Structure 1
Amino acid sequence: MSAVSSRPSVSRGPGTRTGLPWWAVALAVVAFVALLVVMTAPSPAHAVSASQGVAPVLEFLARLFGIAG
């Protein structure tokens, strides 16, 4: 059994765009360059202690919501 397949013709109006906007291409290029810079950066990786990372954020949130700590 053979099936006939055809795509319906889509009529495009005068203001219909088919390409990407310029900012979508620029955003992809910026993201690629940023990832490339991060990958090629010669800085050594160091572990961050909890006092430098999470604790100040938790203290700020406790003060913000008035939670005694």
Structure 2
Amino acid sequence: MSAPTHTRPHPATSGGVDTWLPWWALALPTLAFITLLVLILNPADAHAAAGDPAITHLVERVHQLVTR
């Protein structure tokens, strides 16, 4: 016994784009790429932030627990 098939009421279009991306969907990856590229080209400007020792200790403990 065969199942009935459903057809589309309108023929499929092979033309333009049906969906639009928001502006940030292209802007954010582009900004991230440019930022990383600048850091690779000039690594002297990439300084590590001096953090609180308690936060550093907490991050190390979480890392140890996760890698266990």
TM-score by length of 2: 0.40
TM-score by length of 1: 0.39
**Which structure shows the bigger proportion of residues in helix conformation?**
2
